[in-house]
Structure 1
Amino acid sequence: MKKRPQLTGRAAILAVVVCAIAMSLAYPIREYVAQRRQIAQLERQQAQALQALADLAERSKQLDDPAYIRQQARVRLHYCGTGEKCYVVRDPERPAGSRPKAEGTPRAKAPWYQTLWESIEAADRGDGRRVEAGRTPAP
């Protein structure tokens, strides 16, 4: 009896064809996966942009409210309305030039007008040094 070879010509051709098909499909499949990943990333970015847009729309509605504007003027600018009596309470224990420290920070943030005034004073002296918020430059 004649022994048949384990690998025939037809089997070799079939193996080459299967390898060629696998090789020809590898690149398109890799590109498909990469594009799906990019689409997912762009969808996340779009969701973040839509959330930011919704937040800005809410902020815009808030800024259109006159009561909110008055409240912010009182808090940020120390605004006092017409006919109101406003008081500034000073701590007698503290020296006149010092300010209280905020929780967890080395210094409390100075009001905008104080920073502005200190920068005008520094410019008037002509020393050319930058004034940090809440600090008076040494002469």
Structure 2
Amino acid sequence: MSGAVQRAVPRVKVPAVAIAALVLLVLAVLSLAPAVSTYLAQERAIADTKARIATQQADLKSLDAQRARWNDPAYVRAQAGSRLFYVTPGTTAYRVIHAKATAGPAPAATAQPDRTPWTQALVQSLVAAGTTTEPAR
């Protein structure tokens, strides 16, 4: 093998200054990572707080508007009429009870007594209540 030509593998020389700079860069990133994480968490908390403040300010405006409405005597009279069924003197109030019942058949002219024994009616009622799928009214 004396006649064979050996090829030399080129060696790359990395200067010591570059290695030192790379080590310093890695140390700087590792030392700043917790501070950046804390900063981002604080920014997120600030954004959440600003959103909560904006929501509360909107609620405050709504409550102010509602308070202004309640300071109007006409609004108070209207609410008293609709909620408490108050009427002013000289007006006639009508109240519809069971509006769905008016659409059904007219009741019989004379009421017929039920001839079912009360015990049988009780059992039928319990069975119907236990087997129905309709919600209670």
Q: Name the TM-score, length of structure 1 as normaliser.
A: 0.58
Unpaired runs of at least 5, structure 2: 1-9, 103-136
The 5 Å alignment of 1:1-139 reads 6-89=13-96, 94=101
Question: Cα offset for 1:63?
Answer: 0.7
Give the RMSD, CA atoms, in angstroms. Answer: 2.7
Other-structure match for 1:129: none
Query: Hey, what's the Cα distance between the residues in 2 that align with 1:30 and 1:86?
Result: 67
Deviations 1:79-128 (A, max 9, x none): 11123222335679827xxxxxxxxxxxxxxxxxxxxxxxxxxxxxxxxx
Q: Percent identity?
A: 31
Question: For the structure 1 residues 91 and 12, does the alpha-carbon distance in structure 2 shift closer, same or farther, using more than 3 Å as the test?
Answer: closer
Query: Hey, what's the Cα distance between the residues in 1 that align with 2:21 and 2:44?
Result: 34
Question: For the structure 1 residues 5 and 93, does the alpha-carbon distance in structure 2 shift closer, same or farther, using more than 3 Å as the test?
Answer: closer
Equivalences, count: 95
Which has the higher Rg, Structure 1 or Structure 2? 2
Q: Name the TM-score, length of structure 2 as normaliser.
A: 0.59
Query: Hey, what's the Cα distance between the residues in 1 that align with 2:100 and 2:57?
Result: 51
Query: Hey, what's the Cα distance between the residues in 1 that align with 2:51 and 2:77?
Result: 37
Higher relative helix content: 2
Query: Hey, what's the Cα distance between the residues in 2 that align with 1:92 and 1:22?
Result: 75
Query: Hey, what's the Cα distance between the residues in 1 that align with 2:95 and 2:52?
Result: 47
Matched to 2:67, the amino acid is S
Question: For the structure 1 residues 12 and 84, does the alpha-carbon distance in structure 2 shift closer, same or farther, using more than 3 Å as the test?
Answer: same
Query: Hey, what's the Cα distance between the residues in 1 that align with 2:61 and 2:17?
Result: 65
> Which fold has the larger relative contact order, with Cα–Cα distance below 8 Å and residues 6 or more apart in sequence?
1
